[in-house]
Amino acid sequence: MADCIFCKIIKGEIPGKFIYRDDQLVSFYDINPKAPIHVLIVPVKHLHSLQEIKPFDKELLGSLLLKVNVIAKKLGIAKDGYKVVINNGQVSGQLVFHLHMHLLGGWKEGAHWQV
């Protein structure tokens, strides 16, 4: 989508501090972190939210989930643990309407919130 901030970051039109990138997904630091380490994992394909996914997106969604631990290891948070959050819709707190996962970790004494 032309006006999507994540699409612009993916295309390089807006700078982002990338952690990982391949042909299906990108990962970059959140500009408003909620944890010592807070990155986003975003499909290159624009999907508004989980409500928009179709059965043929199964491989893409699997790739997103499989890369979580790879990225967590790269960031040094896999051993101690981390949270993965997907906000789905405005009421849930989704601010950017391009499907994405939040990977949060790096707490020294445990997370300050629980689900």
- SS3 (DSSP) at 52: helix
Longest dimension (CA), the chain: 42
48 as an active site residue: the answer is no
Total number of residues shown for the chain = 115
Which is catalytic among the residues 38, 98, 100, 102?
A: 100
**CA distances (Å), 86 to each of 8, 63, 93, 113, in order?**
20, 15, 9, 16
The residues annotated as belonging to the active site are 100
